[in-house]
Amino acid sequence: MGKLSKKFVTHFTTIPNSIAQNDKLSWKARGIFLYLASKPSDWQFYEIEVARHAPDGRASLRAGLKELEDKGYLKRYRKRNDKGQVVDSDWIITDEPMFNNPMSEKPMFEKPTQVNRTLQNKDLTKKDNTKERHTKYSLAEPDNSSKKVDNSKQVKAIVQFLNDKTGSHYRASSAKTKKLIHARLKEGFTVDDFEKVIVKKCKDWKADTKMAKYLRPETLFGTKFEGYLNEIDRSNYSINNWSSWEAKL
């Protein structure tokens, strides 16, 4: 029988034993819960960005998130613009399962005891020279203020996904790229929509040496973005005349 010894640095995150020792949750779900709990209150959650920080892949991440949702430890609330399009989501985690509030558009909660967007670990106490962290999880009302939206993290996630899929090295700091992405986000498209377009056009063009050069921000994220998003899957069709494709760009 082995003996467990614990050695921690000063920067750490704690979660309730009701989560850490919950036999009804997989190790994957517990790990994802811990990762989310470690993030600051102003952190923005994007699946394609989080998936890059573990070798499991996005399918594994989604499975773990779904498990947490099914068990009531994670809730997602969709945000819509004036046109009714889903433009963002607020993710809320709690150590007390929430089953009576299905996914909604405008959650109504009392003001949290501490100012949180999702959750934050605070309230440090000292005892016998040992730091003990008492974690409070608060349901937070989404911030629907009219302040200027910062899309920098979305831009970075989208460009990184494009680079990963194409082997390119486009910069998220490029003014032209940012302008294109901001324009599409303003129209109500989501990060997931960008991912779908990138994956779809990679299937169509990546294997074609003449078309692969168009796997770039100015082509993919331009005014034809919606058309690309709604195209049928052409991955099962061969491209016999690349010039006809080029003419559509």
- Does the structure show a pLDDT above 60 at 30? yes
- Does the structure show a pLDDT above 50 at 198? yes
In which band, very low, low, confident or very high, does the pLDDT at 187 lie, cut at 50, 70 and 90?
Answer: confident
More confident: 214 or 108: 214
Instruction: For the chain, give every domain's residue range.
Output: 17-136, 152-246
- CA separation for the pair 116, 125 (Å, rounded): 20
Q: Which helix (H) or strand (E) holds 164?
A: helix 152-166
Backbone angles phi, psi at 121, to 5 degrees: -90, 120
- CA separation for the pair 138, 73 (Å, rounded): 12
More confident: 71 or 44: 71
How many residues appear in the chain?
249
Mark 66-79 as b/e (b = at least 16 C-beta within 10 Å). ebbbebebbbebee
151: left (phi over 0), alpha (psi -120 to 50) or beta: alpha
What single string gives the DSSP state of each residue in 62-86? HHHHHHHHHTTSEEEEEEE-TTS-E
**Of 87, 66, 62, nearest to 75 (Cα)?**
66
- CA separation for the pair 41, 116 (Å, rounded): 5
| Residue 214, amino acid | Y
CATH 2.60.40 fits 17-136, yes or no: no
- CA separation for the pair 228, 179 (Å, rounded): 19
DSSP E strands: which ranges in the chain? 74-80, 86-93, 120-127, 130-136
- Report the percent of the chain where pLDDT is more than 90: 32
Cα 88 to Cα 44, 58, 101, 209, 211: the distances in Å are 10, 19, 19, 36, 32
Look at residue 137 in the predicted model and tell me its pLDDT.
Answer: 37
Look at residue 135 in the predicted model and tell me its pLDDT.
Answer: 37
77: left (phi over 0), alpha (psi -120 to 50) or beta: beta
- CA separation for the pair 208, 197 (Å, rounded): 17
Dump pLDDT digits (tens) for 114-164: 333 344 443 343 343 333 333 333 333 344 444 456 788 889 999 999 999
Look at residue 102 in the predicted model and tell me its pLDDT.
Answer: 45
DSSP 147: S
Look at residue 84 in the predicted model and tell me its pLDDT.
Answer: 74
Mean pLDDT over all residues of the chain?
Answer: 74
- CA separation for the pair 29, 66 (Å, rounded): 9
Mean pLDDT, residues 73-102 taken together = 74
* Residue 197 buriedness (CB in 10 A; 0-12 / 13-18 / 19+): buried
- Does the structure show a pLDDT above 90 at 37? no
